[in-house]
Structure 1
Amino acid sequence: MAATRLLLAFLLLLLQAIAAASSDAAHLLAARSVLRDPTGALASWGAGSGRGLPCRWARVSCANNSAAAVAGLDLSKLSLGDGFPAALCSLRSLEHLDLSANEFVGPLPACLAALPVLAHLNLAGNSFSGEVPPEWGAGFRSLLVLNLVQNLLSGEFPAFLANLTGLQEFSLAYNLFSPSPLPMKIGDLADLRVLFVANCSLNGTIPASIGKLKNLVNLDLSRNSIHGEIPRSIGNLSSLEQIELFANQLSGSIPVGFGGLKRLHSLDFSMNGLTGDIPEDMFAAPSLASVHMYQNNLSGHLPATLGTAQSLYDLRIFANQLSGPLPPEFGKNCPLMFLDTSDNGLSGPIPATLCASGKLKQLMLLDNEFEGAIPVELGQCRTLIRVRLSSNRLSGPVPLEFWGLPGVYLLELSGNALSGTVDPAIAGAKNLSKLLLQDNRFTGALPAKLGTLTNLQEFKASNNCFSGPLPPSLANLSLLDNLDLSHNSFSGEIPRDFGKLKQLSQLYLSDNHLSGDVPSELGDIIGMNTLDLSNNELSGQLPVQLQNLKLTHFNISYNKLSGTLPVLFNGLQYQESFLGNPGLCHGFCQSNGDPDAKGHNTIKLIVYIFIAAAIILLIGLAWFGYKCRLHKINASELDDGKSSWVLTSYHRVDFSERDIVNSLDESNVIGQGGAGKVYKAVVGPEGEAMAVKKLWPVGVASKRIDSFEAEVATLSKVRHRNIVKLACSITNTVCRLLVYEYMPNGSLGDMLHSAKRSILDWPMRYKIAVNAAEGLSYLHHDCEPPIVHRDVKSNNILLDAEYGAKVADFGVAKTIGDGPATMSVIAGSCGYIAPEYAYSLHVTEKSDIYSFGVVILELVTGMKPMAPEIGEMDLVTWVSANIAQNGLESVLDHTLSEAEQFKDEMCKVLKIALLCVLNVPKSRPPMRAVVKMLLEVKEENKPMLKLAPLSI
């Protein structure tokens, strides 16, 4: 009887499990039906022999056996998209849910909080937006891991999540929360092991209660606006392995106590405002391997415990106010690999033990007061790849073996008092790319072995005492871009083989004792923009071949040149390039009183006048002939025979092809680009203005872009208020015209970066950003197949009479079908091109999103993508660097009169731009999500967004 009961109980449990499995299968299939699954990763669900057994399905796991209810669902990295499938909230036995690294959008589901046994929830790397549901703070009875990293969440930082006292991992980093403090109750999460809330707009101070988290292993509060002092209670967190507090606004001194953290591996306090001495016990932590304290205001001497550090391999303390010596045995007891103490006031000798472990790779000690000789022991450090010792007080000769370190690509010794010669052992430095020796006391001749350094791109040795001839072997350095040997005592002639240095852009040989002719071969270096040969003893005539160069800086003053100056050097830009050459004359040379010479020069002058007149006459005839041919071509193209033109309309038009053709007068030209000229045409009975693009004839060599097919294929089928409308195309056998709606306010680029920029206030700029985003969202999400623009930039966003924005110029647009298209060449414009083009020519919509992010940065900062005021950086790099150093507000366009009034809005839009320009394409939000985020910037849009569908 008992056995029968047991059997019945077992069968009942089995039937319940089968029923649960069947129910869960239905929920999974319901979830799949609403998901966008471009790769078909879930296509096998419900098929084959496991039709009703979800535990056999891909990415699904169960707790006990194949008939049990679903306990785990791992759908990470599958490119799944659209909103969260609510059916997943019906999986009552679900313990583990991982939807990370997909393309989910829309709000977070409140229903997840009701799942009774959910322990692990990972939604990182998606585009979920809006606020964290308040229901989450009261639910999740079993939740241990919560990971929402790198989404688009907004609103107040969800302090109520500190109520989930069972949490072990709390990761909300890289979201768009409003400025909020870290919850004071964070210390109540007694089991917490990971607190990862970097880049969450946190402000306020670090609560002292954080010291109660005895199990905490990883503490990351970086890239926020947290101020105040580092609480001493952090020193009580005995389980800590990693502390990341960089890029905040912390002040005060570093508290004592970190040396007692036995498990501490890495510590980063960089880019704050910390002051005072580094605590004596800082480097006593036995496992401490990486310490970053750069860009603070730390002062005083380095603690003695640095010399006895056991595990340290990475120390970066640059840009502080530290003084005194490095511990004499630093490096002897630890596996030091990276050391950067630059921009401090450190002094004393360089410790000979820095490479005692044989692992040192990067050594940066520049801009200090180190003195004495370079240790001989560093010459035996074969692992070194980057050495920067400039701007110190080092003296004496460079150790012989130090010259020939085989892995070093940067050797910077400038700005010291080093002496001796450059040893031929430098031939061993085969990897050397930059050799910087300027402002020292080196003597002797340069060794011919320098010519074997085939990777050398920059060689600067100015302001030394080098002598002897210039080594002809330098002409073998085919990659050399910058050669500066000025202010030395070199003698002899400039080697003619220097003309083989085709990559050379800058050549400085001034203030030496060079003699002989200026080699005409220098005129073969077409890319050279700087040539300085001044203050030498060069003689003879200036080679006419130098006229081939497009020099922005040219100085050959104070030599012994003679003869007539080549005609192209008579311009005002060169008026100070030839001073101190008394034998050099402009136009024709005077004769010093010799009557025969005077007559000869008079004849030469008359000849020059006749030659110049002949040249002018020939140019005039050629111009006349060109205009005649152009007139004939235009007459042919615009032939009166109406039958020769074919008008293909894509919208209803009230004009004829003859109306358009008759408007193509040069007085109506409003623009010109790589594809052709653009005319304004007023046509039709209502006098409607149209923009007419006349494309360059096929095969014109100087106009390489042929956009006709691409523009017609794209614009003839798209219909959207924020895409410029193509009314029709008009063609004949030799001419092709595209007729668009006319946009009276021109391009955003012209409006934003000209004297008209004051017209664009912040509300206008915000409207333009939303309009352009909606246009791109339509191309990416509503066209079938999706269309990638490939040249999104401010000059391709046109403005109508009300400053509404429309995306234009589809000459390089591509459809991408089921996957990324591979291009043979890079399309796009400098400053807008996504970084993945550096290693791939695959085209996806993510490249458009990057380019659009740059456009948003233009709107927020008022800066061009590439501008002289930001130096060699592009706008993305400049913005990122300034935000890291000075915060979001430092890059806003403060020329806007209402910048203070709209500061919060501008910061929110800036954060959206930063998401769009993330280096990893997968991390960039889809355009549909960008539109939603931009609309959410204004509070009045939020109620509408809750009612409206996500598709724009």
Structure 2
Amino acid sequence: MRQLLPFFIFCLVLSPTVDSSTDQADVTALNTMFSGLNSASQLSGWSNNGGDPCGEGWTGINCSGSQVTKIDLSNNGIGQGNQFPYQLPPNLERLDFSRNTFSGDLPYSISQMSTLKYLNIGGNQLQGSLSDMFANLPRLSTINFSNNNFSGDLPESFGSLSSLKKLDLQNNQFTGTIDVLAKLPLGDLNVDNNHFSGWIPDQLKNINNFRSDGNSWNAEPPPPPSKPSSKNPSHTPTRQGRKTNPVHVPPTTKGGNNSSSKTGVGGGLIVGVILSVLGVGAVLAFLLIRRKKNRFSGMEKLESKQVFTPLYPVNETNELKIIGIPSESTLQTPPHSPMGLKHRHNTTDYEKDEQLENKDNNEFSDHKTIVMESRKSVPICNVYSVADLQMATGSFSADNVIGEGLFGRVYRAEFDDGKVLAVKKINICTQKKQEEVEEKFLATVSNISRLHHPNVSEVVGYCSEHGQHLILYELHENGSLEEFLHLGDDSKYPLSWNIRVMIALGTARGLEYLHQVCSPALVHMNLKSANILLDAELNPHVSDCGLYNLVGNADRQAFDLDIGCGYTSPEMTMSGEYTLKTDVYNFGIIMLELVTGRKPFDRQRSQQSLVRWATPQLHDIDALDKMVDPTLRGIYPAKSLSGFADVIALCLQSEPEFRPPMSEVVQALVRLAQREKNGLS
């Protein structure tokens, strides 16, 4: 027995090396990648469910310890008909997908790979502009984006690539200048055959291996750099070296020298003063005229492109804000409102003051800019009176109640012009002064009235009168997703699998808009199936966006309990923290509801928590089939269901940092929707 003891010790020492266990986050990412590929039989060892990439030697995978640090799938022919994978192992040092046929755009997950040193995706069919995602990649030394269809200007975050030595952008459709590359430590740069313009920075001309043919460079010499201003502009030296104030004329004294000084230096100074005054006057006149004509040109450009106007946070101090509002004529017919609603616009006192201030500026009738304190934020939507809404709702009759939640009841309102809207009567904490409540309400409505997206419920009006606070939304006659899935109304027909995928995709797009288009990003904080409204074509609309600020501190606990009915994320349980990634978690629960038809929390079932019951079964094919909503009657593509479950698993990861941003969720669901559209199983 003693003779065998050294052998046992030797086996114990070797066991960690022999049994190589891959980090679970890396396994999940590679499983998701493989399941999204239409044909990848040449990837030996790969699986869409579990496995050990590091220990089993998957094709193209290299590891350091338990972490996947290198993926080399170059020249594998695996991209045909496939979007670029949206989920990648987070600790990669080298990523090479070159010489395949991937399409789509770069995934946002690359921006989080702080260890990445080598990125080669040349020779694919990638397109679109590059997102500003390169600010946190300090080790990246080689980038090859050549032979794709990328377009647009180079992102500003390229300038943060402090270790970049080699950059190949040839044979794309890039535009603009390459000034952002000027200060990078490049030794090899190829920008051949793009649509770059302007001048080549002098710093880049010194690169040993620099190629720039096939662009639209400016043939004229660049303008000279502006001269630095004088260190002491308030004084200028005279011929005698004495410092003299330039606007001061020296007194007349006897003597030729003094006479010369008077006619030379003094006269020159007088002329200089006159010219300076005339010049300043001309500049001021020009600026005043330009200000009058272009006072709101920036906002006009935003509106012309229908770009989201930044949400202005409530300012607890009285710091001045510049807030753009439409004119009265525009308010009567909101430019982004699909309802085309026309209604009487009640003018508040401070709006009257602003109109008087701008009555001579009729050329600004399309848009006006006003400077006001935050408490005077004006929503860019219609204003209704309490009398208007009483008439439309039958004096807020119980027969017209169509919903009720923490914020208050929702009424169906029908107006004389035939328009039908939803009126939400807001319960605001009454412990504060009326002026503070008014400020809070107007600031919130001002923010959310600027939200314009096909999958976000549109605010079309508000009422703030006699202590009442109401918000008017477009009405979606099919009610909420919760009603369709859980309330058992015989009038609601079962949702097909295709429609469920499209509801998930539309909801994801609405959240992507709130998270990654709005500035600053808007966390929903009350995301659940009851707040996903369905229109006549069953398109989803995310509602109740941005209303959390209206909940008083005393009501926060009730709010959290309302969220907690099956939607509580791990971080909410541990610390009460709610972030963008908490919205992602709640979206994963909504997807679970779409798959199973079950409520997030059901006391009538032995397994009351939907997440706790369903999550362990998401990667078990047989168990997954048994989880599916029975109203589907087994009519769904197995591969689509599996892909849907993979997205759910990503969204429901316990660590928030491992959950994908909504842009990647959208990419994954787009692929599923395209597969359904093409009839692929």
Q: Same fold per TM (> 0.5)? A: no
Hey, which of these two has a bigger chunk of strand by percent? 1
Query: Which bin holds the TM-score, normalised by the shorter protein?
Result: 0.3 to 0.5
* Structure with greater Cα Rg: 1
**Structure 2-normalised TM-score?**
0.42
Task: Give TM-score, length-normalised by structure 1.
Answer: 0.31
